[in-house]
Amino acid sequence: MTKEKVFISETDQYLFAQGTHYDIYKKLGAHLSTEDGVQGVYFGVWAPNAAQVNVIGTFNEWNKESHPMQKLGEGGIWGLFVPGVEEGTMYKFLIYARDGRRLYKADPFANYAEYRPGTASIVTDITGFDWKDSKWMEARDKKDMNKEPMAIYECHIGSFMKHPNNGTAEGFYNYREFADRIVEYLKEMKYTHVELMGIAEHPYDGSWGYQVTGYYAPTSRYGTPKDFMYLVNELHKAGVGVILDWVPAHFATDAHGLAEFDGQCIFEHPDPRLGEHPEWGTKIFNYGKNEVKNFLVANALFWLREFHVDGIRVDAVASMLYLDYGKKDGQWLPNKFGGNKNLEAIEFFHHLNSVIRGTYPGFLTIAEESTAWPNVTSGIGEEGLGFSFKWNMGWMHDFCEYMKLDPLYRKGDHYAMTFAMSYNDSENYILPLSHDEVVHLKCSMVNKMPGYPTDKYANLRVGYSYMFGHSGKKLLFMGQDFGQEREWSEERELDWYLLGEKLNQGVHTYVKELLKLYRKYPALYEIDNNWDGFEWMNADDTEHSTYSFVRKCSSGKNNLLFVLNMTPMKWENYTVPVPKKKKYKLLLNSDEERFGGWGNEIPTEITAEKKPYHYKDYSISFDLPPYGAAVFLF
């Protein structure tokens, strides 16, 4: 098929310099093109300080001199059409810096890269994929996700499952093979979304994809860009949304990457106090520069438009908002008012969210923000950063610290588990139990729990019940839903064999029941960000370390009562205050033997009596199992 002519106009250069060329990835990079009836590739690169830029690659046997590019204008963009170059050709930009250095750089806008440890870019055509997800895309744009269920499965493709016989040392599934495995799993478990770690091209497996060199390329570890499109397409056809981890906070310093790209700092700030993360050994983007903002905003739009991705989870937002994040005195510079807020990063977030959410209201932007910065989530044009959702890191920290405690000491930290509701209405929250909580000697979720193995799994079940009942959308990292016992490592697959063990199979079945419940009852997701959807029945029973609360929906019907026992004691004839004189029908008992419990029974239906208790006129009583979670419908 003959390709249209690609060229970079004066308008392209002007808009890029203004920071508003949202299709710039269709011009910069390497694009199949036709000039005067001859097919080839048009190469474009931004290198404003270069003395000269040449294209080298397999098409010219990496000849340093044969293909010099032309500087197109004052903005520093270089371009060249090379006839006869075909898809699959490897190439780099050879940049002659003004100080005489020769820099061999991968293409910042490349859509495909050589398999690591190779670092060349590869000419590829990302047009023409046969998408079959129009039904999903149309429905997505009509939804208000604040009122929809969101149960996210966070997943690292390379270690989800290893291929038993594909002949590579790493055993990576390719995107297409992975699609079959993951779709089957997510449909069985009833997750609504998958969040994929480390999709943009990155040199080092151990960075998990958080130190990027190719922002416009799905990593070649798992196949081609069209293989990745196939994965998204299959997930959409199965009714599963796709969220990508996105890393605009910092980038890798590898020689072929963005750092000192043309001999000078054009993507990062030249002052290391603003341009470097000493803790991470990475470079910080210069958010005050129009072309850099354009590179990043267009990148988010690229994943949205070209790969039909449904959302981005923006990594390390706090590190962008605070100039002194992770830095000691002398390692950072204050802003023009003398403070520690990064005013340019704040403006960048306003720009990003207004462009993306203003144009694509169904697209989610999610902030991983670990401080009490106000109004991270807000409507477009309101005061605030404009994100759709924020990870509730405070909830996650309190939850993990409480659940780790010996039950004897939980009464002393009782209000750690109620505190998150006191600020719940300040943002639109996601409750995350992410990969960060199960690495670097923090223990797997199940091994954070106290007691013997049976106790650990019982704790996990009651802990997950609290999470699914609590206000906020949900996120679980892979392996947590069956009680993965070893810490996560990107080098090996999850311990799927554990599903043959009774306790693991039990927690897996239980999480499946929680997900089914979560999706079935709007009370669990429809009103997540204000007190209309949540009411404590008893938040103060420190003596028994129990919690009881109600989740409500706008119709007033099918409300749910949660009763949670955080101790190994069975509380006989335990009294729970309830809001109405109704029948309370048991939906879930975490102590059933099929879940790995001890088999203590709870009546399938309990009628409330007019026995006032803890500020309520009515109450119910029943035997509450050890580490038991009971969920009732009324």
Q: How many other β-carbons are positioned within 10 Å of the β-carbon of residue 101? A: 11
With beta carbons less than 8 A apart as the criterion, state whether 228 and 306 touch.
Answer: no
CA 388 – CA 378 distance, rounded (Å): 7
Establish how many alpha carbons lie within 13 A of residue 633's alpha carbon, considering only the half-sphere containing its beta carbon.
12
- 363, 364, 361: which is closest to 390 by C-alpha? 364
Structure tokens at 339: 């403070």
Contacts of 520 (CB under 8 A, 6+ apart): none
For 29-88, give the secondary structure using H, E and C: EEEEEEECCEEEEEEEEECCCCCEEEEEEHHHCCCCCCCECEECCCCCEEEEEEECCCCC
Q: Which residues contact 331 (CB under 8 A, 6 or more apart)?
A: 273, 278, 324
Q: Give the C-alpha separation, 439 to 604, whole Å.
A: 40
Take residue 283 and report the two structure tokens written for it. 């470079």
C-beta of residue 353 within 8 angstroms of C-beta of residue 377: no
Catalytic residue list:
315, 368
Residue 392 to residues 10, 433, 518: CA-CA distances in angstroms?
45, 10, 19
317 φ, ψ to 5°? Answer: -60, -40
- Quote the tokens at residue 556: 């007033």
Residue 578 burial by Cβ neighbours in a 10 Å radius (0-12, 13-18, 19+): buried
Identity of the residue numbered 544: H
Instruction: Give 118's contacts (C-beta < 8 A, 6+ positions apart).
Output: none
Strands 629-633 and 560-565: antiparallel
Give dist(CA 621, CA 603) in Å, integer: 10
Taking the mean position of all CA atoms in its chain, how far away is CA 126? 24
Q: Tokens for 93?
A: 């930009």
Q: Which helix (H) or strand (E) covers residue 179, if one does?
A: helix 175-189
| Ramachandran category for residue 109: left, alpha or beta (phi over 0 → left; psi -120 to 50 → alpha) | alpha
Give the CA-trace dihedral at 198, 488, 388, 139, to 10 degrees: 80
Q: How would you write 461-498 as a 3-class SS string?
A: HHHHHHHHHCCCEEEEECCHHHCCCCCCCCCCCCCHHH
Backbone phi, then psi, for 86, in 5-degree steps?
A: -120, 170
